[in-house]
Structure 1
Amino acid sequence: MAAATVGREDVQTRLAALRDDVLAGRGGALVLAGARGMGRTTLLDALPACGSVRFATLTGVAAESGLPWAGLQRLCASAGIAPDTVADVSLRGTALHQRLAERGPVLCLVDDAHLLDAESLDVLAFVARRCARSPVGVVLTTMPATPAVDRLAGLEVVRLEPLTHDESWRLVAARVAAPVAAELVETAGGNPSDLLELADALTAAQAAGRQPPPRSLPADGRGRGAVIRACRGLSDAARALVLRAACADPAETAGSACLLAADPVLAEAQRSGLVCVTSAGIRAASPALAATVYAAASDTERREAHDTLAATLDPQRHRASREWHRACADGRTDVADRIAAAADDNPETSALAWHRAARLTPPGAVRAERLRLAARRYWTEGRVGPARRLLWQAREHAPPGPTAGRVLVAAGEIELRDGTPEVAAHQLMLAAESLPADEAADAFLLAAEARRTAADGCGYAETASRAAATDTLVATHLSGMAAMFTRDHAGAATALRRVLDEAGGDVSGALCAAEAAMTLGRPTLAHDRAAAAVARARVGDQPTLLPTALFQFSLTSALLDRPHAAVEASGEGVALAVASGQRNTAAELDVLAGLAHVSLGDRDAALAHVASAQERIDRAGLRRAAAVADWVRACADLLDDRPADAFRRLAALFVPGAGRSPVQVAAIPQLVESAIRCDESDSARRALERYETWAESTGTGVWLALAYRCRALLADDPQAAEAWFRRAIELQRSGGMTLELARTELAYARALRRQRRNREARAVLRDALRLADDAGAGYWAAQIRAELRAAGDRAEQAASTSTENLTPQQERIVRLVVDGRTNREVAERLGLSRRTVEHHLRNIFVRLGVRSRVELVAVVADPPPRDV
């Protein structure tokens, strides 16, 4: 597929279907409506020929739009038929349709239909409405909001909307460095043609990210010429409105009267495609169009636009903006300090004000600092592209020393959250060399986070070692965490206890305290500190840390056996991270949500979250998230009764040098379970020894209980196993565990059943069922009910064959199975994968207490009587 059609796959499919309909004699018509550069022409050019279908092509020409029948004459020439001379539209349309059908199958591809003469367009519309059940088809493309759209009434219209961020990224990501791609995507505003022109115009330095990319369309490109022609074709009033929109930022004009205009003027400007009208007001269609329109205007036009904006903006809310526009109108450059003084008056325009103050500031350290402040505020708003661009500019002006270091810290944090963590770590380490001790410590803390995100244990240790020179609490924290990673539990405990005692009250301090508490085996305190970090990030001046705080809150919730809270926090965190341009953080939160879902037994939701994050994990090298994703997949394998697959996945996390250390210890209980179920007990014992060492060093009941459950599963002696189970249950009950306690009781009951102690097993299982139901864990409740039936529970046996508790999807699968369909046929009928059907059938067997498709058919066809 051509790069230029990225994001238009559904339209290509629709065009191909229409072509095939024409070949089959069914005919049809379609209108593609999209603004300049949205791919109308590209889609027609990309439509491949098929069989005997002929293409008759026509492109509207503005110079002939006033010549009656000019367009129709050219179409007939392309189709190889003689034009008619009758003046009546219906008679001429009927004759054209008949002649095309005789030459058919033929598909008419009419580009820029809005530029055709009215008579030709009316005839083509007449033909298009009558193509059904004939070997003729018509595709017309047009600009939206033009008179041509009204003439095409009654035809199916497909609107070519701006590309999404991800679609735009796919278009240019392979051509340029990732930060440059992000900037180009924002500049183009979803216009694929503009995006490709901007990418093609980059110099080598710009493509590599060493210099800022251009903001306006290339001088020799088709886009710039089209924009200028569109501007010149407007009335004076409409052109002035478009220029004001180009001069203004949407944040400063929302709700303002500065872009108001009479309805005809507004409609004219909108038809040009140069502005967009939204609920918030009028704005330029994209930053690239705004810069291009502004560059093409005369000095007089620009000054008039700025003067109008300065006169109409609210003097209280927009003090900095008024100073800027007044300075531009008067040609002054001496107001930078006044704009800077008012920059933080209005949070909605603070970034813009600092940016403008920087533009009017002479080169040097002050300009670099103002650019950095503007970038920080754009970053706070989630506008990653402008933030990166301004930091590039700041680096050019920052002298060596603290100013340059602060610029690098800001760039490194963005790289950590939305770029490549390995690159971020080096940026932040370099920044620390130029900063005072306290600021250097903050840079080292971010660098350490980048190392952990990339699962780089050696890099983390190096970061901790270099941070020691700052002699700060951050240095103590990093040394304690590094000691824990090297299994120096005593050294880690000493350092991390100090962190807990002395951590500050800001978001970063709360996050450090949460991490320290978790590592020391105090999960309840860790959860409390994570909650404090969330609260402080919501109301403080560090909103960019809120997704990270929610990550920590979700993690501690999951480890405290609160999966629903973990799911909710992760979901909020993903939404915030995406909105604030933190795609790496969003991916990490997504896999954490998957971990919470899989603990509830919700395999499909868990794997969906992992799949959602996988592309970002691969692109950015998020090896910590990759490890958690593999952990989730292994847990899903266990739910699907594929312990060998789970064991292989988990064992891979322990390969030396695999960079998977972040989850190695935490995943050991699942490794032990999978190893036991596929006769790898020796491997399970070796792994469990490591887990026990860690759990005992923390003295934490939550983790000791999991170790005891693993010991019970491994024990050959039934009495020893029972003793381990009881110890685990006691710890989990006293620790307020719910779902993990239910799972331990389920495992214990199975051991009792193997000893034919069914009565005791039933008592344990009834408590486990209550816990699983309370936790909203349907999968585990079904497992426990199945075990209760096997243990002879009469109430469960009586209810086991009822289909009332099946989900609608499960009921559909049951009906198809009873009708004799194979799993493959069921999958095709319902649009599912075979693996998904097999997963559903396993759950159905458990719920109905059957062991095969034969038993399922028998039970559903002839259910036993129910007690009344």
Structure 2
Amino acid sequence: MTVTGVGRLFGREGVLRQLQHYLDEVDGGGDSIGLSGEPGVGKSALQAGIATYAEAAGFTVLRARGIQSESQLPYAVLHQLLAPVLPRLSGMPAPQRQSLLACFGLVEARDVNPFFTSLAVLDLLVEAAAEAPVLVCLDDLQWMDRASVDTLAFMARRIATERVVLLSTSASESWLLGDDRTTTWIRIEGLPADVSHSLLRYHAPDLNQAYRDRIVAQAAGNPLALIEFASTPETGTDEELPMTTRLERAFTARADELDPVGRALADVAALDDGDELDPVLAAAAVVAGTAVDTDAVRRVLDVGLLTLSGPNYAIAHPLIGSALRRAMTHDRRRQVHAALATVLSGAADRAVWHRAGAVAGRDEAVAAELERAAAEAQRRGAFATALSRLERAAALSPDPLDEAARLISAAELGYQLGRFAQVEQVTSRVARTTLRPRDRSRLTRLTGVFHDGATSEPTEIRHLVQLARRASGEGDADLAMQLLFGAARRVWWRDPGDTVRRDIVSATHDVAVPSGDPRVLAVLGLADSLELSASVIHQLDLTPPDDGDRADVAALLGIAAFCAGDFLRAESFLSTAVHDLRADGRLSLLAEALAIRSWAEINLGVFDAARSADEGVRLGDETGQRVWAGTARIATAFIDAVGGRWGTPPAFLLQAEQTALQLPNASSSLLAGAQLARGLGELAADRPSQAYAELHRVFVPTDSAYQRVQQLWTISYLVEAATRSGVRDEARSAVDALESQATGSPAIGTTIALEYCRAVLADDAAAEDLYRDALSGAARPFPWHQARLQLGYGTWLRRQRRVTESRDPLRAARTAFDALGAKPWAARADQELRATGERGWQPTASGRDQLSPQEAQIAELAAQGLSNREIGQRLFLSHRTIGSHLYRLFPKLGVTSRQQLAGVLTDRQSSD
């Protein structure tokens, strides 16, 4: 089909060819494209033209248009868009089907999971795309309700392998559908003068040359302005006004031609938040004080303000709606809103919004009603709508204290939605007002919440503790624990000193909750896990087995165990949390749990990015949680370093370090992790002196990478580097200092690290006994830690000229390292064996090494017998995307069926 096949779009041939290319290449994967430009520049015409092309090419075309007056109606756009494919819902898994139907009010549900809704939309479109490629047209993205847009953004991030193209229009480039990695924006500029003249000759051939020249000069290449100005009297418009203002005046002039009944109809349509004509006629009758007949409708249609399609209507162009709204007085707006509220009394969500618009001043009754409507929207998964209603409720609150409380509630929702700028704006505004004590504490907890706390300055942490003590004294234990948890997290990211840590611990013990409360254990672990490790682990020992069955509780217990160094129990609790959070679709908390679990796995010697780290990065990025995305990125870098897969620090490690330096409180912990990864990279490259320099930074109090607890994770690698580079005495002092702080801790991570250090640093007289004790000690069940001891012991034996004895531990170490994929360490063990005279070993090759972490995760789940749809539901991907991954990974593994996967995945691990 030629470009002209889409109709007469003057001067847009290049853009049309560009858009057609995306459609022509859809079998190779989908795209999200946006058209931006000023109103009237032709974005919608281009979209309509390419939709015509797509239909002729066999695409299924789905359309939705944003209307400013509907932007508060949750899922309005989604319902409009999906109506043609909703019959396909019958074949979808129940959780997704019920969630989507509940959003549209078609079934009753206690609450709605927004991520299941998003997955349902993705699956619907992917199913449709299996039969014919799909073009999704979103016109006026900026006016679409945020509940729908958030769902569409989820889809946009997942269509790269699908036969789906998303084409949006917006007044300006928008981040609503993701950043430039997700959506490619094309700026539509005004037409050149010669093309403008051609368009005018086509649409208004009888204009005299002088007036045509004037219109071309005034319209600045805007096609809508060219056509509209050509139809206005030659008295023209004020050339000094902005073009859109002149256009709105032209549209207002059309409305001024109407009689009072017609004008009432036009005004009601401009403020209505639906598209059904009957309610608009009824409300217009209330405003006009007389019935609205078909003649009145015809008059409004004749002047081009509205269009009609069966029982539904639409404003002919967004600028017309804007012009009508601007032309209304405040009294007229309230009159129209009141009429709509009366007519829509059976639609509670819509009616309350119009009642709010009809209020002349502040009104507590309406504010309370909006607050209840916000709770209902939140129950339906429409968090963005709930936030807007809370902000409107705040604006209508007569009592300033109620206003502030509702704004804080809106900010709390904004945090859940990842709306950084909006939360910062609200909290900054509320901070200058008088607040109830509880609301002041809520506000303090929100400060810097996107950075997992604002800063780790001692004065700020003490302030949180003071607020917690006040809340505890007033019997508000829940708020007290929330505040203390926030304070303790700041301590984790950067140590504020002994006094502050002890203050948090003391305040926590004063809260009227049981000592074994998971919140208490998490706070104690975060705040002072070196000194309190033994008591935290003791409380975990007393925890009933079924206490960790709920996601939130399991996550808190996992954090407590992790901070205390009980990585085995941490991995277990966090796996439960990951499983349940995934089932609930709570992606923000899931990203955090995966990031923490990835480090529990690393400390246990499990180096598989597919289990936790890779997904933690993806979900951390998707939910806007830079701290957790950075945490998981560093874990991925560590895993790659162990495998010898980078010679210089990779880009994702540098990106995580940049995040650490940009966030006011996260630099210490993230940078400590980054230094650990860098140190492992240097050890893998056989540069022990450089490794020691990198790792030693974690132990220097004045260094930005200093972190007390993470010294325990780092100390054995520091000792390895020190031993290989000849600075054993320096390492001994670091070990002695750490042992004095961790005295009495039964944590498995602490025990493994210190047993290794004692053996490797021992003098020759004591080394053998310490090696034997360590080899039969805490490290024994963990191949990585055991292999490191075996390598150290075998190396020591060879240095003692006990060559024959050295071979068994060195062979065992080499075999274990090889199986773990720790190729540099396997090569070192082989080098030691070669020095004993043993030759002929070749490292094993695994097909799994050829897979990306996501492919490995999918392969593991498929090997467990899960269907593509079940895997997709777990990973929040379409089942067809899963199928595509399996199709690509089968040849890499040398298999032809799912049944063969288990046999070739040599290090099978269950993945939640």
Q: Which TM bucket (shorter chain)?
A: 0.5 to 0.7
Give 2:415's aligned amino acid.
Answer: W
Give 2:373's aligned amino acid.
Answer: A
Counterpart residue number, 2:840: 795
1:328 aligns with 2:357: yes
Aligned-partner Cα distance in 1 for 2:381–2:35? 38
1:647: how far off? 2.2
Give 1:412's aligned amino acid.
Answer: T
- Deviation by residue 1:362-415 (Cα, 9 ceiling, x = unmatched): 233333332222222222122222233333444456533223322332x23625
1:711 aligns with 2:758: yes
User: Alpha carbons of 1:584 and 1:520: their partners in 2 closer, same or farther (altered >3 Å)?
Assistant: closer
Counterpart residue number, 1:727: 773
1:612: how far off? 1.0
Give 1:708's aligned amino acid.
Answer: E
- Deviation by residue 1:801-859 (Cα, 9 ceiling, x = unmatched): x9x99999xxxxxxxxxxxxxxxxxxxxxxxxxxxxxxxxxxxxxxxxxxxxxxxxxxx
Give 1:530's aligned amino acid.
Answer: L
| Further displaced range: 233-242 or 574-583 | 233-242
**Secondary structure of 2:406's aligned partner:** helix
TM-score, structure 2 length as denominator? 0.52
**What are the within-5 Å matches in structure 2 for residues 393-412 of structure 1?**
393-395=429-431, 399-409=435-445, 411-412=446-447
- Deviation by residue 1:398-444 (Cα, 9 ceiling, x = unmatched): 533223322332x2362543754549646634643552341223212
1:444 aligns with 2:465: no
1:446: how far off? 0.9
Query: Does structure 1 conserve the Cα–Cα contact (< 8 Å) formed by 2:374 and 2:386?
Result: yes
Give 1:768's aligned amino acid.
Answer: A
Aligned-partner Cα distance in 1 for 2:685–2:354? 64
1:632 to 659, 670, 677: 677
| Further displaced range: 330-339 or 550-559 | 330-339
1:667: how far off? 1.4
1:661: how far off? 1.9
Query: Does structure 2 conserve the Cα–Cα contact (< 8 Å) formed by 1:416 and 1:450?
Result: no
Counterpart residue number, 1:673: 720
Give 1:463's aligned amino acid.
Answer: I
1:368 aligns with 2:404: yes
Give 2:624's aligned amino acid.
Answer: G
Query: Does structure 2 conserve the Cα–Cα contact (< 8 Å) formed by 1:35 and 1:143?
Result: no
Query: Which fold has the larger relative contact order, with Cα–Cα distance below 8 Å and residues 6 or more apart in sequence?
Result: 2
**What are the within-5 Å matches in structure 2 for residues 191-230 of structure 1?**
225=242, 228-229=245-246
User: Alpha carbons of 1:420 and 1:684: their partners in 2 closer, same or farther (altered >3 Å)?
Assistant: closer
Counterpart residue number, 1:608: 651
1:648 aligns with 2:679: no
Give 1:651's aligned amino acid.
Answer: H
1:644: how far off? 2.2
Counterpart residue number, 1:597: 640
User: Alpha carbons of 1:723 and 1:376: their partners in 2 closer, same or farther (altered >3 Å)?
Assistant: same
User: Alpha carbons of 1:765 and 1:321: their partners in 2 closer, same or farther (altered >3 Å)?
Assistant: farther
Computed over aligned residues only, the root mean square deviation of the Cα atoms, in angstroms, reads: 5.6
Aligned-partner Cα distance in 2 for 1:245–1:764? 82
Query: Does structure 1 conserve the Cα–Cα contact (< 8 Å) formed by 2:571 and 2:600?
Result: yes
- Deviation by residue 1:19-59 (Cα, 9 ceiling, x = unmatched): xxxxxxxxxxxxx996359xxxxxxxxxxxxxxxxxxxxxx
Aligned-partner Cα distance in 2 for 1:364–1:654? 50
User: Alpha carbons of 1:587 and 1:246: their partners in 2 closer, same or farther (altered >3 Å)?
Assistant: farther
Counterpart residue number, 2:495: 455
Query: Does structure 2 conserve the Cα–Cα contact (< 8 Å) formed by 1:705 and 1:732?
Result: yes
Counterpart residue number, 1:745: 790
1:525 aligns with 2:569: yes
User: Alpha carbons of 1:336 and 1:342: their partners in 2 closer, same or farther (altered >3 Å)?
Assistant: same
Give 1:114's aligned amino acid.
Answer: L
Aligned-partner Cα distance in 1 for 2:805–2:821? 25
Aligned-partner Cα distance in 1 for 2:338–2:690? 69
Query: Does structure 1 conserve the Cα–Cα contact (< 8 Å) formed by 2:375 and 2:386?
Result: yes
Aligned-partner Cα distance in 2 for 1:781–1:788? 11
User: Alpha carbons of 1:771 and 1:605: their partners in 2 closer, same or farther (altered >3 Å)?
Assistant: farther
Query: Does structure 1 conserve the Cα–Cα contact (< 8 Å) formed by 2:810 and 2:833?
Result: yes
Query: Does structure 1 conserve the Cα–Cα contact (< 8 Å) formed by 2:341 and 2:355?
Result: yes
- Deviation by residue 1:54-93 (Cα, 9 ceiling, x = unmatched): xxxxxxxxxxxxxxxxxxxxxxxxxxxxxxxxxxxxxxxx
Give 1:338's aligned amino acid.
Answer: E
User: Alpha carbons of 1:668 and 1:363: their partners in 2 closer, same or farther (altered >3 Å)?
Assistant: same
Counterpart residue number, 1:685: 732
- Deviation by residue 1:783-805 (Cα, 9 ceiling, x = unmatched): 445555554444337x99x9x99
Aligned-partner Cα distance in 2 for 1:373–1:618? 30
Aligned-partner Cα distance in 1 for 2:324–2:424? 24
**What are the within-5 Å matches in structure 2 for residues 45-60 of structure 1?**
none
Query: Does structure 1 conserve the Cα–Cα contact (< 8 Å) formed by 2:353 and 2:370?
Result: yes
Give 1:619's aligned amino acid.
Answer: Q
**Secondary structure of 2:840's aligned partner:** helix
Counterpart residue number, 1:134: none
Give 2:594's aligned amino acid.
Answer: L
Aligned-partner Cα distance in 2 for 1:645–1:254? 68
The sequence identity of aligned pairs, in percent, is: 25
Unaligned runs of 5+ residues in structure 1 are 1-31, 38-110, 123-141, 149-221, 260-264, 270-280, 809-868
Query: Does structure 2 conserve the Cα–Cα contact (< 8 Å) formed by 1:603 and 1:636?
Result: yes
- Deviation by residue 1:676-724 (Cα, 9 ceiling, x = unmatched): 222212112222334555677234555434433333433442x754443
Query: Does structure 2 conserve the Cα–Cα contact (< 8 Å) formed by 1:405 and 1:431?
Result: yes
Aligned-partner Cα distance in 1 for 2:589–2:485? 13
Query: Does structure 2 conserve the Cα–Cα contact (< 8 Å) formed by 1:591 and 1:629?
Result: yes
Aligned-partner Cα distance in 2 for 1:337–1:636? 58
1:292: how far off? 12
1:116 aligns with 2:193: yes
Query: Does structure 1 conserve the Cα–Cα contact (< 8 Å) formed by 2:588 and 2:623?
Result: yes
TM-score, structure 1 length as denominator? 0.55
User: Alpha carbons of 1:247 and 1:596: their partners in 2 closer, same or farther (altered >3 Å)?
Assistant: farther
Aligned-partner Cα distance in 2 for 1:494–1:391? 38
Query: Does structure 2 conserve the Cα–Cα contact (< 8 Å) formed by 1:441 and 1:467?
Result: yes
Query: Does structure 1 conserve the Cα–Cα contact (< 8 Å) formed by 2:252 and 2:324?
Result: no
1:583 aligns with 2:626: yes
User: Alpha carbons of 1:757 and 1:465: their partners in 2 closer, same or farther (altered >3 Å)?
Assistant: same
Query: Does structure 2 conserve the Cα–Cα contact (< 8 Å) formed by 1:375 and 1:387?
Result: yes
1:324: how far off? 0.4
Aligned-partner Cα distance in 2 for 1:243–1:795? 87
User: Alpha carbons of 1:764 and 1:664: their partners in 2 closer, same or farther (altered >3 Å)?
Assistant: closer
Query: Does structure 2 conserve the Cα–Cα contact (< 8 Å) formed by 1:418 and 1:584?
Result: no
1:449: how far off? 0.8
User: Alpha carbons of 1:300 and 1:528: their partners in 2 closer, same or farther (altered >3 Å)?
Assistant: same
Counterpart residue number, 2:83: none
1:739: how far off? 2.5
1:544: how far off? 4.8
1:470 to 499, 507, 511: 511
Aligned-partner Cα distance in 2 for 1:546–1:468? 29
User: Alpha carbons of 1:671 and 1:779: their partners in 2 closer, same or farther (altered >3 Å)?
Assistant: closer
**What are the within-5 Å matches in structure 2 for residues 217-616 of structure 1?**
225=242, 228-229=245-246, 231-232=248-249, 299=330, 319-325=348-354, 327-328=356-357, 334-345=365-376, 346-348=380-382, 349-395=385-431, 399-409=435-445, 411-412=446-447, 414=449, 416-417=451-452, 419-422=454-457, 425=461, 428-429=464-465, 431-432=467-468, 434-435=470-471, 436=474, 437-438=476-477, 439-458=479-498, 459-472=500-513, 473=515, 477=521, 481=525, 488=531, 493-494=534-535, 497-498=538-539, 501=542, 509-518=553-562, 522-535=566-579, 537-538=581-582, 544-564=588-608, 568-603=611-646, 607-616=650-659
1:445: how far off? 1.8
Give the total of aligned pairs: 582
**What are the within-5 Å matches in structure 2 for residues 792-831 of structure 1?**
792-796=837-841
Unaligned runs of 5+ residues in structure 2 are 1-33, 40-187, 200-218, 226-238, 257-262, 281-300, 306-313, 852-912
Aligned-partner Cα distance in 2 for 1:760–1:242? 95
Give 1:116's aligned amino acid.
Answer: A
